[in-house]
Amino acid sequence: MTLHTDTTQSDTFVADVIAAADAETAALLQASTDVSTAGLGPHRESMRRAKLLVAVFLEPASAFTGSPAVVGLAETYARILHDLQSPTGLFLGGDNVESPPDTGFTINDVGDILELARRSGDPRLDRVAEILGGIADRAAPAMLAGGVHTPNHRWELSAALVRLHRHRPDERLTARAREWLAEGVDIDADGLYSERSANYAVYVSNPSLLVIADILDLPELHEVVARNLEATLGLIHPDGSVETVHSRRQDQREPVFPLAPYALHYRHLALETGRGDFAWAARVAASAPVIDPQTALADMLLHPALREALPSAVPPATRVRHAWPVSGLVVDRTPERTLVVFGGSDYAVARRIRSGLASNPTFLRLFGGDAVLESVRLSRHFFGLGPFRADRMTVADDRIVLEEHLSPAYFGPLDAARRRPDGDYRVVDEGRFSAAMSFDERPRHEVPLDTRIEIVPIEDGAEVTVETDGPICAWNLEFAFRAGGAFEGVTPAADGTVVLGSGSARYRVGADAIEVGPGTGSSAAAGYLPGEDYDYLGGTDALGGPRLYVSGTTPGRATVTVRRVR
Q: Which residues contact 299 (CB under 8 A, 6 or more apart)?
A: 264, 306
Is residue 505 pLDDT above 70, yes or no? yes
Pair 388, 476 in one domain: yes
What's the rounded Cα separation, in Å, for the pair 3 and 5?
Answer: 6
**142 in a domain, yes or no?**
yes
**180 in a domain, yes or no?**
yes
Total tally of structural domains belonging to the chain: 3
Pair 43, 78 in one domain: yes
Can you give the pLDDT at residue 148?
93
Pair 389, 457 in one domain: yes
Pair 518, 462 in one domain: yes
| Longest CA–CA separation in the chain, Å | 86
DSSP string for residues in 462-523: EEEEEEEEEEEEEEEEEEEEPSS-EEESS---TTSEEE--SS-EEEEETTEEEEEE------
Can you give the pLDDT at residue 3?
54
Is residue 416 pLDDT above 60, yes or no? yes
- Domain of residue 483, CATH code: 2.70.98
pLDDT band for position 431 (50/70/90)? confident
Over residues 228-238, the pLDDT tens digits come to: 999 999 999 99
Mean pLDDT, residues 517-524:
92
Is residue 40 pLDDT above 50, yes or no? no
Report CA Rg, the chain.
27
Pair 204, 225 in one domain: yes
Neighbours of 397 (CB within 10 A): 6
The stretches of 85-125 forming alpha helices (DSSP H) are: 100-120
Query: Which residues form the domain of 282?
Result: 13-307
Pair 60, 101 in one domain: yes
Least confident span in 146-155, 162-171, 523-532, 544-553 = 523-532
Can you give the pLDDT at residue 42?
81
Over residues 248-275, the pLDDT tens digits come to: 999 998 888 999 999 999 999 999 999 9
Residue type, 79: R
Pair 27, 71 in one domain: yes
Can you give the pLDDT at residue 525?
85
Can you give the pLDDT at residue 94?
60
**313 in a domain, yes or no?**
no
Pair 348, 225 in one domain: no
Number of H helices, E strands in the chain: 15, 20
Can you give the pLDDT at residue 4?
47
Pair 460, 441 in one domain: no
Last residue of a domain, one of 446, 467, 499: 446
Least confident span in 22-36, 297-311, 389-403 = 22-36
Last residue of a domain, one of 307, 338, 367: 307
DSSP character at residue 204: I
Mean pLDDT, residues 463-477:
97
**220 in a domain, yes or no?**
yes
Can you give the pLDDT at residue 220?
97
Cis status of the peptide bond prior to 518, with omega within 30 of 0 = yes
- What is the residue-averaged pLDDT of the chain? 94
- Contact yes or no for 367/242 (Cβ under 8 A): no
Pair 268, 365 in one domain: no
- Domain of residue 155, CATH code: 1.50.10.10
Pair 441, 464 in one domain: no
**335 in a domain, yes or no?**
yes
**7 in a domain, yes or no?**
no
Neighbours of 352 (CB within 10 A): 12
**1 in a domain, yes or no?**
no
Is residue 33 pLDDT above 90, yes or no? no
pLDDT band for position 414 (50/70/90)? very high
Mean pLDDT, residues 40-61:
91
**303 in a domain, yes or no?**
yes
Over residues 181-232, the pLDDT tens digits come to: 999 999 999 999 999 999 999 999 999 999 999 999 999 999 999 999 999 9
CA-closest candidate to residue 256, choices 270, 277, 240, 271: 240
Long-range contacts, 125-130 (Cβ 8 Å, 24+): 125/54, 125/57, 125/71, 125/74, 127/75, 127/78, 128/50, 128/54, 128/71, 128/74, 128/75, 128/78
- Type and span of the H or E element at 242: strand 241-242
Is residue 308 pLDDT above 60, yes or no? yes
Is residue 455 pLDDT above 90, yes or no? yes
Is residue 362 pLDDT above 50, yes or no? yes
Last residue of a domain, one of 395, 418, 446: 446
Can you give the pLDDT at residue 11?
87
Pair 524, 478 in one domain: yes
Cis status of the peptide bond prior to 293, with omega within 30 of 0 = no
CA-closest candidate to residue 335, choices 192, 207, 458, 241: 458
